Amino acid sequence: MKFIKIKNYFRIKIMKILFIINYNKKFNYFKYLNNNFNYLNKVINKILIKINKKKLNKNNIINSINKYINNLNEIFLLQYEDKKFIKYILFLKIKYNILINIFDNFSFIIKIINYINKNNKLLIDIINNYLVNWSITRINIIDLIVIKIAISEFIIYYKDININIIINEYKLIILIFSSKNNINFINGILNNILKSKNILSLYDKTKN
């Protein structure tokens, strides 16, 4: 359960990049990601150095982390979810001695974005096939992007993931960025698509 927050952070990063690409096809997301990840690493390491110089009270980790983050000038250049992510990474490091290398997730993000860019028509067709008395044009852009990401992640990584878990994790993202009224609608679409036998045939094509 610890790592759901981390995985969802990178899914949200994908979502925001795809939202930008929707309006700016020339957006260099590879360069953006590389710069963003380098900057996150810089901030995390800088705070760790400060924290390691002092003995922390393990029962007061969150307050200590917040103190160092709030006193760091670089933090003001980061977005809200970046700040939350940094706090969580630092918490895992101090509390459990787990430090996540964010560049390990670089390929995860690139694979999904590239898949969506190359197979957008296929994804639209898949979604359309599972809409009942509803037009895909009526789905707002954020919800549509979330559905595309979920389908793409499942197609690429289906041997390594659990359908019910991945649907529940995407429901958390919908709660943050969309309307609560849309959860059942999107949950229904994802359930029908990801549990369809036809969707599994697309996995082998990603390996070609």
| Domain residue extents for the chain | 4-104, 119-206
Is the pLDDT assigned to residue 51 strictly greater than 80? Answer: no
Cα angle, residue 147 at apex, residues 141 and 148 outer, rounded to 5°: 90
Q: For residue 90, give every residue at least 6 positions away whose Cβ sits within 8 Å of its Cβ, in sequence order, or none.
A: 44, 47, 48, 51, 65, 69
What per-residue confidence (pLDDT) applies to 161?
83
Q: Which two tokens stand for residue 11?
A: 């899914």
Residues 125-159 pLDDT 10s: 999 998 888 889 989 999 999 999 999 999 998 87
CATH, range 119-206: 1.10.940.10
Rounded to two decimals, the pTM is: 0.87
CB 112 within 8 A of CB 123: no
